[in-house]
Chain A
Amino acid sequence: MNYFVIGYYALLIGASCLAAYYSSRSAFLLLFSLTLVSFIVGIVGGESALWTITVCAGVLALCAGTAYAFREFLVIVLPVEASKAIKTAPLTATFGLFVIMTYAIAGVFAPIIAPHGEAEIIAGAFEPPNDEMLLGADQLGRDLFSRLVFGARNTVGIALLATILAFVLGALMGLIAATRGGWFDQLMGRVVDVIMSVPSLIFALLLLSIFGTNVVVLIIIIAIIYSPRVFRLTRAVAGNVVVMDYIEAARLRGEGLWYLIRREILPNSTAPLIAEFGLEFCFVFLLVAGLSFLGLGIQPPTADWGSMVRENATLISFGEITPLFPAGAIALLTVAVNFVVDWMLFRSSGLKG
């Protein structure tokens, strides 16, 4: 027993008591169960496990703090209506927004932010971090931090393009199918069923083996694989709008397909479609990262997070966490987008009821 362990438990138990005293039930439950878990983990894993928990808690607190500060910032900066919505947003959502904004800045201003070039070799292989290199060098002696920053542009950019393409394709078909109905609807439904009955990663691998791996092919293939999901959702959302009497009124007026889609259906389907765009982006992003990790996606020397994990994977067996940075960068962005989407879905379902 040293001071750290004693302090650790004292803090937790003290905080639990405070929570109980102020009868804040959920905080108490959380703190006390954490104390209990710590007892078990502490006995099994010793002091180092407690340190890990402390570090995790610290990181979480930091994230929560950032999210809180960012929320206050947004409330002040944004116009009245948007800030009203942001005010009630959970911290997870504002944290997500913060991360997305950071990534966007990193992606757009990559050449300015990165201290070194994307493919510039400046040191020996796997050189440890120093003043020059924040995170050390990779297997060829390139600056890992610079490559991470450029990766934000490449990996996210490609995923974004593919998602947009998939979305335009899928949403358009979905809207037309819902509005026109009949044989077109039936046919598209069947085609989508078939495409979706092949796992997406497998389908991507099959097509990549045939068409080879270059960026344009990659984007098109992913767009084709993912557009059926968008189609299904759009079809379902638009299907709910199409049965409304105002659509019938517009049809009976003699309005054309485009007017119906553009003026009547689309304005009433945007909320779920935007949320779906976020989800879809996560899927696509993970697929792009996965393919690159397998060596079949974005090709070197372009900096890309998936292939960076693969290239530096051997370091893991020496206990280095270097390969976890690009992997973590991928995870962080998907988590962030998911948090925001979760909040948006909650809002759209909550406002309906």
Chain B
Amino acid sequence: MKLRKTKSIIPGFGLTFGVTITILSLIVLIPLCSLVVYSAKLSPAEFWHTITRERVLSSYCVSIGTSLSAALVNVFMGLALAWVLVRYEFPGKRFLDGIIELPFALPTAVAGISLTHLTTTNGWVGKIAYDLFGVKLAYTPLGITIALIFIGIPFVARSVQPVLEKFDIQYEEAAVILGASRLRIFWTVIFPEILPALISGFTLAFARGVGEYGSVVFISGNIPYETEIAPLLIMSKLQEFDYASATSIALALLLLAFVILSVNAIFQSIVSKRISGMA
């Protein structure tokens, strides 16, 4: 058995490995290398100057702030959705389960224009919000958050759902027998189990939100310093053929995404170690 590890009798390694590496290089590796090569040409001072300009910094703030609040809303709603779909039986459940994936299937630009029209002060939803609370939705950070909530709905729900499905009901039954209240059971028995899935769903939704473009450009109104998101700033630098600035802003954004995903990866490995250590 040990020998087979290096030499398999199944044919086709050369061919499939070759095709894999060739396509991977053409589509992913070479373009990424060109990003690295191009950014190596930028001087650190120039890079720093670009990303610390006030307009750029405020675009990062808008992107991070709105993605963070949208991801938080999605943590709560995603948990509620997963809970409802796993634990309860009710008419229309299958429909609810199917429609969660809509943000993945619906083109972002289509979602964007529709959400914009709904939330302007004349729109179906925006009019109610404006008349009742005097709140404007479209063309404000609130509007961006709405678009990002839309985009992020499936992430948390779909990562928590399988964990909740596998969760052994015996622990809960034991807790009930020991006389724990429902709330206490949720916090001390169920919540620690689903926490890793919640956090990984949160990170995915957050990272997706920071980079999102299509659904946000229409609803944001793109007012500099207020509702201008970082991806849009990259886009406008590209349209001015200012590749150096575009690349600098993009690098900082990539770094941020990398940090977000690494924090999650580290957290997940700590949790899985703890679980396997206990077992």
A and B interact physically: no
Which residues of chain B have a CB within 8 Å of any CB of chain A? none
